Amino acid sequence: MTDLSPPEGAPPRSPSWEDIARDHGRFLYTIAYRLTGNHEDAQDLVQEVLLRVRRGLATYQPGSLEGWLSRITTNAFLDDVRKRKRRPFEVVPELPDRVFGVDDDPDEALQRSRLPDDVQAAIRSLPIDFRTALVLCDVVGLDYAEIATATGVPVGTVRSRLHRARGQLRQLLGPMRAEVGP
Amino acid sequence: MSGSWDGQHPHDLLAAYGDGELGVAERMAVAAHLAGCRACRAELSDAIEIRALVRSLPDIEPPAGFYERVLVAGPSPRGRTHRRARVAAVNLVAAGALWIGVLGVLGVRDGTSITPDLRSLLGQHTTLATVGSGAAAPVPVAAPRSLSGDYVLVRAMTVDGWPQYLYEDAEGRTLSVFARPGRLREEALPTTRRAVAVNGVSGWAVTIDEQEVVFLQKPGSVVVLVGDDMRDATADAAMEPILERRDDLGIVDQLVGAGRALLETFGLAA
């Protein structure tokens, strides 16, 4: 995970959009990509976040750059989802069709079924709320209280969404294991 | 105990348990349940496995040169990332003319021609264009349409060799104005098209993917105005059946024609 801590001894300050792009660009891009699931939308989302930072639309709280940036990104993402609700975000996932031969080793087959692209495709197939909670928790590394703040829901809802998100991922990625089992 | 217990099983609490996010009482209750419930232990094990899988995903590298371009040009509003745009020298006269045109379109009602106060608007816009992007106060525009807002010119560019102007409001909504050589195939427009006139030039407003687009026919060129949310692919696809391209003119003549259409359409020729 990208370290967003300010340099030791450096006074906290509100980062500029150029700071974000220059110093935390990879971190921001990773969140954007995991949320949107493709490079085109990720680039749009990153630019939207930088625009919001440039306009000072989000108040920076010194010491919580990860949470602050995640909150802006989440808000921008969810705003876009609401604006583009016609887009098929919740379609059946486009997981690769894989048929394993009878001689395949089950462990190797399972390993192959969980390549990063497969996992990303499964994440993208999750409902927006589940996906957002999952990305904030397991990609960004926020705790539940921070996720609740970023998404504007109670902590209990975060618990539920995370559990269901992981359960759905398990279902999406799991059948491959079942196919090769005895 | 909270409502997160589903019957006898603490399903919704298992992720929080695995993440160490439960208070003492809930943690002890879940632990006691797990000791005697094989199904919940398996569910927890699966959740932990999935968590590890997601957390092991690598960071994503942005496309080469992405941030370098953003740092040079500034962040762009949504949907503009993939425009193959080169920032051109700003033609203040043309930019001023277009701003007037934008105001004209924003204020126009179907089938009605509007003549804005050219002198004062031009003065305002020349100042904006001189100061540069984002540095000046936006011009308030009250209009009945979805395109209404407080817009400033943020960029003059060429896209695939053709002039294009982007306007933006404080919320990041954009208005894009551009010209293409060719003739408007009115018969190919949707039947829901609405007649409009901008500065005396007749044209059509259509709704494509919930987005309003205005087409104006000038001799040899079509002037197009689109609002926020219109992506390149959608706009290109929409243009394809509507625009009858001209192959009888050289590229320079087409460019000059498109530029002249923009100028004439927005009334600065005089």
- CA distance linking residue B197 with residue B204, whole number of Å: 8
Q: Is the pLDDT of residue A100 over 50?
A: no
Q: pLDDT tens-digit profile of B88-121?
A: 222 333 343 444 344 344 333 333 333 333 333 3
pLDDT, residue B142, reads 30
Asked if B209's CB is within 8 angstroms of A48's CB, the reply is: no
Least CB–CB distance from A83: residue in B51, B61, B229: B229
Least CB–CB distance from B75: residue in A27, A51, A144: A51
Which of the residues B27, B53, B61 would you substitute to probe the A interface, choosing the one with the greatest number of A C-beta atoms within 10 Å? B53
pLDDT, residue A158, reads 94
pLDDT, residue B196, reads 65
Give yes or no for B208 touching A (CB within 8 A).
no
Least CB–CB distance from B54: residue in A29, A51, A119: A119
CB burial of residue B30 (10 Å; 0-12, 13-18, 19+): buried
Asked if A123's CB is within 8 angstroms of B16's CB, the reply is: no
pTM of the model: 0.52
Give yes or no for B203 touching A (CB within 8 A).
no
Q: What is the mean pLDDT of residues B62-84?
A: 72
- CA distance linking residue B97 with residue A114, whole number of Å: 56
Q: What is the mean pLDDT of residues B68-86?
A: 62
pLDDT, residue B143, reads 29
pLDDT, residue A60, reads 72
Q: pLDDT tens-digit profile of B139-172?
A: 433 322 455 555 566 666 555 556 666 666 666 6
Which carries the bigger pLDDT value, residue A155 or residue A115? A155
pLDDT, residue B107, reads 39
Residues of A in contact with B229 (CB under 8 A): 83-84
β-pairing, B211-218 vs B201-208, is: antiparallel
- Say which residues have a Cβ less than 8 Å from residue A73's Cβ, sequence separation at least 6: A28, A31, A32, A35, A45, A49
Q: Which helix (H) or strand (E) holds B86?
A: strand B85-87
Most confident of A26-30, B56-60, B175-179: A26-30
Q: Lowest-confidence range among A70-84, B77-91, B174-188?
A: B77-91
- Say which residues have a Cβ less than 8 Å from residue A19's Cβ, sequence separation at least 6: none
Give the residue from A65, A22, A29, A23 showing the smallest Cα distance to A49. Answer: A29
Q: What is the mean pLDDT of residues A67-86?
A: 80
Q: Which helix (H) or strand (E) holds B244?
A: strand B243-244
pLDDT, residue A65, reads 80
- CA distance linking residue B102 with residue B173, whole number of Å: 14
Q: How many residues does chain B have?
A: 270
Strand partners, B176: B166, B226
Q: Is the pLDDT of residue B24 over 50?
A: yes
pLDDT range class, residue A3, cuts 50, 70, 90 = very low
Which of the residues A18, A162, A164, A171 would you substitute to probe the B interface, choosing the one with the greatest number of B C-beta atoms within 10 Å? A162
CA atoms within 13 A on the CB side of A76: 31
pLDDT, residue B198, reads 54
Residues of B in contact with A26 (CB under 8 A): 59-62
ipTM field: 0.76
Q: Is the CB of residue B176 less than 8 Å from the CB of residue B226? A: yes
Distance from CA of A81 to the nearest CA of B (A): 12
Residues of B in contact with A42 (CB under 8 A): 60
Asked if A18's CB is within 8 angstroms of B53's CB, the reply is: no
pLDDT, residue B124, reads 37
Which carries the bigger pLDDT value, residue B19 or residue B80? B19
Give yes or no for B236 touching A (CB within 8 A).
no
pLDDT, residue B98, reads 45
Mean confidence (pLDDT) of chain B: 62
pLDDT, residue B130, reads 36
